[in-house]
Structure 1
Amino acid sequence: MANASALQINDDLTYKNLDDDGREKRTGTWITASAHIITAVIGSGVLSLAWAIAQLGWIAGPSILMIFSFITYFTSTLLADAYRAPDPVSGKRNYTYMDVVQASLGGHKVQLCGIAQYVNLVGITIGYTITSSISIVAIKKSNCYHFKGHDAPCNPSNYPYMVMFALTQIVLCQIPNFHKLSWLSMLAAVMSFAYSFIGLGLSIDKAMGSEAKTYLTGIPVGPKFSAMDKMWKILQAIGDMAFSYAFSTVLIEIQDTLKSYPPENKMMKRASLVGVTTTTLFYMLCGCLGYAAFGNDAPGNFLTGFGFYEPFWLIDFANVCIAVHLIGAYQVFCQPIFGFVETKCSDKWPESSFIHVERPVKLPLLPEFEINLFRLVWRTIYVMITALIAMIFPFFNSFLGLIGAAAFYPLTVYFPIAMYISRAGISKYSFKWMWLKTIDWTCLVISLAAAIGSIQGLVSDLRDYHPFKE
């Protein structure tokens, strides 16, 4: 009798620790989801916005930024309702973006979604490796300029710092899944606020005494800047703005961390509103004040392009914050890749001890923890490959623009709208269908144009570049 009671208690405890799908109980809230979004969104994108607005000018720059924010929030609400199917509150959970597309659309679109999502996620992790190394190098440059003068030849190599970043990620990548990342996202979100505020404060200070020239239509065409150059830069700037709102790729994975009540879709919509509103406010302030401070000479990265030299210690601190933030952001974007590969391998080789067994490890001065050999090997190889690609193509603005253009249309616009039309049974050529499709087609044209501009920028950068040589 006592044994039966003990078994009943164990069963009750087990049930309490599991969710409705039999998985470990989720504990996330709209606050942790907002932190994940801010970690994903306020990243290296904010650093290029002063340059982007310099290309577009006072009218088109802020307008395009606001348009991207409205579209991103609108489609994120559509995507949040697709997490459970067929009912957004009580339906079956879908754990990844591909699962959501499978439940709502099916067919070949699932494969197209997978290609778009995972290529984009890989691109973002490469971009963050580039940006973090630029920020660490900026610390050495800042100190060099302070002690040797602004005209000193201060050009340390990025490559050692890409290796340092990769080594840090190899360790952090052993965190098993998204559910264990809340602390890192919270820290990264604080860092993103810190360097955004520093950039904002420095821009205000510089703008107050600045005589920099600004124009309603951006940098004017002249002897050294042709109409063709301006067109390419405008397209690249639009791609950079699209990149600055890239979080739809991980929205479903973030939503899968939320506890069941209140309903996940309601919490995710609230988190999306908080995340997009917060980031848009920072983007507008940093972009516009950065342009006011530097005018047509706005650097591609306003905290590492050395428009700001003093106080050097504050520049150093801001770049430390960027590096710490990108360490967390890298994890937010690579976890879906890890989850996808590991689930596929687990299903294909269910008996493999290499894939499934967790081995206890005890190191001096540290508590015992478990290591999975497959996770250790595969994730280490992934980080090494992304670091190698970053070393070969270390171009900040062009790379961000290309990633943004490639990801924005399919993942932020096309799939959320297509799934909503399918789930809601909206009739073809009805009024609602027409305005949804208008948004869809307009964003397609913008993304294609931005991709072309960014590819041209990369081709131009590669003409005089030799990998692994300073």
Structure 2
Amino acid sequence: MVGAGVLSLPYAMSELGWGPGIAIMLLSWAITLYTLWQMVEMHEMIPGRRLDRYHELGQAAFGEKLGLWIVVPQQLMVEVGVNIVYMVTGGKSLKKIHDIAKPDQEIRLSYFTIMFGALHLVLSHLPNLDSVAGVSLAAAIMSLSYSTIAWGATVHKGVAPEVSYAPRSSTGAGRLFGFLSALGDVAFAFAGHNVVLEIQAGIPSTLGKPSKGPMWKGVIVAYIVVALCYFPVAFIGYYVFGNSVEDNILVSLQKPEWIIIAANAFVVIHVIGSYQIYAMPVFDMIESYLLMNLKFKPSWKLRLVTRTSYVVLTMFLAITFPFFGGLLSFFGGFAFAPTTYYLPCIIWLALKKPRRFSLSWFANWGCIVVGVLLTILAPIGALRQIIIFSKTYKFFS
């Protein structure tokens, strides 16, 4: 659950302001916990069948063909989007480590992104999700570690005398688009629903002890950890740096140097594991399509070409558009909000059919309205931010 999106939350707070920022953070935490509960409940709602994939849930609600067309493209956008963002994150964290260790030696960000991508040219050939369990465990520990370092080092730095909580932009349009972009940052941070059914599928289930019991306990633990990581980073980071905070809180921190180097190293380890977690379902989709629809023969050559091509593509896009904050916001609104904030609610209404104007009916429609607004508004602010950054950015620098 805890991903690199946590590092952008202080920046999002600087665009939202104290009141709206706290409200949106708490609302996102509550809505995504609710929609995650719905997915856990719906996993075995059809007697004798387990809906082990998000698209299977969609097919149960909308039909075999329509369910695929509704869910699969959105899942792909999420997974590819995360992989691009994490490729950018890995390269920037490696560069930050180098810049602190050797400040007098300048090396292009592109080279560090290539170094990070080269590692995935090897890891991408692991056979399945089970084979990256060790990497995933290390990634989970690292995410908790760098989140704690982020707010702990911020507290150690202390509030600067010149800190300001005024809006980042001096114009009304700038403040509006910044607000919209920040909504996408928050949405990206809270999006962990795309692989939840695959996780639940690995839990044994019987009539007496259905998988939703232990799965829900795991979700509660995860969301407590999310709160302990996200809220201190977001609120303390904004409190200390104000409107001068960078779109990655670790970039704003400079001292103590060894702690900042360690935190960025933890980020690198984390996104190594997270990249693979989100890439594996993409590999599965691509290879299944080639085998079943285009009648390719299964072989190591097919795996080599498809997986290598995918890693190279995400690496190329990360080198071309290394705008951490803008990409986070765009994918958070355009891709993550549907699968996290309101698609589970639509499926719930279709399958459970709660009584009209009941509490469940109102709760789901409320989430749908919030999620649709996020999907429409956040990418608008993000695209403006990317365009502004690209004006002064030299491509492949």
TM-score w.r.t. the length of structure 1 is 0.79
**Matching residue of 1:101:** 58
Give 1:308 shift: 2.1
TM-superposed CA distance for 1:213, in Å, is: 2.9
Structure 1's unaligned 5+ residue stretches are 1-40, 149-153, 358-371
Q: Which residue in 2 is equivalent to 1:439?
A: 367
User: Counterpart in 1 of 2:316?
Assistant: 388
Superposed CA deviations along residues 422-464 of structure 1, whole A, max 9, x for unmatched, are 2212245555324421221122113311111111111222223
Structure having the higher Rg = 1
Q: Percent identity?
A: 28
Is 1:278 aligned to 2:225, yes or no? yes
Q: For 2:114, give the aligned amino acid.
A: V
Could you give the per-residue CA deviations for residues 387-412 of structure 1, whole angstroms, max 9, x where no partner exists? 01111111110100001001233211
Look up the match of 1:213. Answer: 163
Taking the aligned partners of 1:199 and 1:429, their CA distance within structure 2 comes to: 44
**Matching of residue 66 in structure 1 with residue 20 in structure 2:** no
Counterpart pick for 1:452 among 380, 393, 397: 380
1:326 aligns with one of 254, 268, 271? 271
Q: How do residues 286-305 of structure 1 correspond to structure 2 at under 5 angstroms?
A: 286-304=233-251
TM-score (norm 2): 0.93
Q: Secondary structure at the match of 2:313?
A: helix
The unaligned stretches of length 5 or more in structure 2 are: none
Contact 1:212 1:292 in 2 (8 A): no
Equivalenced residue count is 394
| Paired letter, 1:229 | G
Counterpart among 343, 348, 354 of residue 426 in structure 1: 354
Rounded Cα–Cα distance in structure 2 between residues aligned with 1:196 and 1:289: 12
Aligned to 2:13, which of 53, 62, 81? 53
Alpha-carbon distance, 1:85 to partner = 4.6
Question: What residue number does 1:157 align with?
Answer: 108
Q: Does 1:171 align with 2:122?
A: yes
Moved more, 132-141 or 288-297: 288-297
Paired residues for 1:45-444 under 5 Å: 45-87=5-47, 91-106=48-63, 107-145=65-103, 155-207=106-158, 210-215=160-165, 219-220=166-167, 225-260=170-205, 262-304=209-251, 307-348=252-293, 354-355=297-298, 372-428=300-356, 432-444=360-372
User: What residue number does 1:35 align with?
Assistant: none
Counterparts of 2:386 and 2:315, CA distance in 1: 18
The 1-side partners of 2:319 and 2:77 are apart by 18
* 8 Å contact from structure 1 (residues 178, 253) kept in 2: no
Q: Give the superposed CA RMSD.
A: 2.0
Cα distance in 2 between the residues matched to 1:213 and 1:312: 22
Contact 2:14 2:167 in 1 (8 A): no
The aligned amino acid for 2:146 is: Y
| Inter-partner Cα distance in structure 1 for 2:157 and 2:22 | 20
Q: In the aligned structure 1, how far is the partner of 2:56 from the partner of 2:284?
A: 13
SS at match of 1:403: helix
Q: Tell me the distance in 2 between the aligned counterparts of 1:180 and 1:255.
A: 17
Q: Are the aligned partners of 2:180 and 2:382 in contact in 1 as well (CA < 8 Å)?
A: yes
